[in-house]
Amino acid sequence: MTTQGDQILDRSLSKVGGKGLFLKELEVALEESRADLAVHSLKDVPMDLPVRFVLAGVMEREDPRDAWVSPHFARLEDLPQGAVVGTSSLRRTVLLKARRPDLRIEPLRGNLDTRLRKLDEGQYAGIILAAAGLKRLGLSQRIRHIFSTQQMLPAAGQGALGLEVRSDRIDLIQALSFLVHQPTWLTVAAERAVSRAMGGSCSMPLAAHAELLGDRLSLRAAWGDPEGAPRLLVAHMEGAVRTLTEAEDLGLRVADQLKAQGAH
C-alpha cells in the first residue's frame, strides 16, 4: 500500500503531519477488515496509537545504527568544508551539526531507491540512512561506513518492526505471539517512553537507544536544538528491567534528566 507519507516528498515530515502519515491508510484497511495486521518500521509509529489499535508485538531487531552512504567519501570525516549532506531527520541534523557544524544539511525524502538516485545524480556528497533498511533490501554494498551508537545515537525504535492490529483481535494477538522478541520489545519500550515524555513527534530532535545485558537495561538519549548552537544534551541511566512497565519507567527517568538540563 502507498501511504501519504510515501507520496509527499517535497516537504519534511515535521511540516506535513508527522510520521503518522505512514500509518493512516494501513489503519483504515485494518478498521475495514481489508487487512488483519500492519507491519511498520517502529521508528515511524507514533508514540500513542489510537485506542482501537494496539501493537501485537515487536520482532527481533535488525542493526539499529545509522549508515553513511557516499560514492566518493569513505567517512563523514573525509568531507571537505561546506559539503552537502542529505537527511530530513531532525535527529540526524542535530547530531551532524554537533560533529561537523561546517556542513550543509539539505532535505532528503522518498523511498530508498529515490534517495540513492538523488545521491548518484550528485545532489549530495553523502547521505545518512538507517542501516536496517539497506540491509533488509539487499543494499548493504552501498554502505561505506556504519556509525557507532556513540557517534550517531539512533532514533527510538530504529531497526525494529512492529506488528499493529485492531485491539479487539485477541485471536490475532495470540496467534502472532511466536513472532514477539521480548528483549527487543523491552529496549524499544524504554526508547519510545523517552520520546513520548518529550512530546513524541518527528519534529522532536531526539535520539534514544537502549541495550539489554541480562536483565539490566542501559538507556542513552540525546536532544539538540536544530535552530540553536550545535550543542547536545545527553542523558544516561541503567537499571534492572524485566517488564515493559519497568522499561517505560526507565525511559521516563531519562526524559526527566534531559528536561532538567533544559531540553523541551
Of these residues, 10, 44, 113, 249, which one is catalytic?
Answer: 44
> From the CB of residue 184, how many other CB atoms can be counted at a distance below 10 Å?
24
Exposed, middle or buried: residue 264 (CB in 10 Å: 0-12, 13-18, 19+)? exposed
> Is position 113 annotated as part of the catalytic site?
no
Exposed, middle or buried: residue 249 (CB in 10 Å: 0-12, 13-18, 19+)? middle
Residues carrying an active site annotation: 44
